[in-house]
Amino acid sequence: MYYISPPVVYFNSITAFNFDPKSTTNTIADLRSDELPFINAKIGNALIAFEFNVDYDVSIKHYYYNSLRGRVGDQPTSKHNAIQMLWETGHSKTLKEISTKCDYDNKNCYEAKTVPVINDISTNTGYTTGGQNFTVFGFGFNDKDIDAKMDGVPCVVTSRSDYAFSCVAGKKDKVSVIDVAQPGQHGLEG
């Protein structure tokens, strides 16, 4: 196993497992025509779903670079997850020197990093007086340390689950710039 691409993933994102099976596929006997030589692939403890993209017609080449794309399942956010593939003959070896990526400051290295994803927000307008309740929908929000800001103003988290969190916006000194692109999804920052 070489690496996954991209190494930073989130719920329902697509990532590619890049590997060279060497002669592993030669040692596997008695596969039905609808079976693949590998059993599963994981990021951390979460299985990757290949069904939408990989079936028995996919050819996995011996001693050759292969890449299979799969969908990331629900898993907690994490600064580091190990990657692995389980074949009919056992676990693949992961080449750490290739699979490990690091942040720019080299303080956090990982094979796969899992981050929250924002899919929607209850509203994209608010008041300068603050006090408005926002609900952010997505996945990966069960962390007790959510740091939310709406247009640069702290938004105090009042509830959270894996799929949503609610927060109350603080007061803003002036009206936001209108008709100008804002950083973040739906005007959300960081």
Enumerate the domain spans of the chain: 3-114, 117-175
Determine the Cα–Cα distance for residues 140 and 118; give it in Å rounded to an integer: 9
pLDDT one digit per residue (tens) for the chain, 190 residues: 999 999 999 999 999 999 998 877 777 777 676 677 888 999 998 899 998 878 777 778 888 899 999 999 888 888 999 999 998 888 889 999 999 999 889 899 999 999 999 999 998 888 889 899 999 999 988 778 889 998 889 999 999 998 999 999 999 888 776 666 655 555 444 4
Q: Give the 3-state secondary structure of residue 75.
A: coil
Distances (CA, A) of 159 to 8, 123, 143, 165: 26, 17, 11, 6
Distances (CA, A) of 109 to 9, 98, 103, 181: 15, 12, 6, 32
pTM for the whole thing?
A: 0.76
**Top-level CATH class of 117-175?**
mainly beta
Asked if the domains at 3-114 and 117-175 fall in one CATH topology, the answer is yes
Q: How distant is the alpha carbon of residue 81 from its chain centre?
A: 11
Q: Which amino acid is at 159?
A: S
The whole-number pLDDT of residue 119 equals 92
Sheet of 66-72: strand order equals 3-5, 14-19, 66-72, 46-49, 38-43, 83-87, 90-91
Which tokens in the block code for residue 168?
């109350």
Please provide the CATH number assigned to the domain covering 3-114.
2.60.40
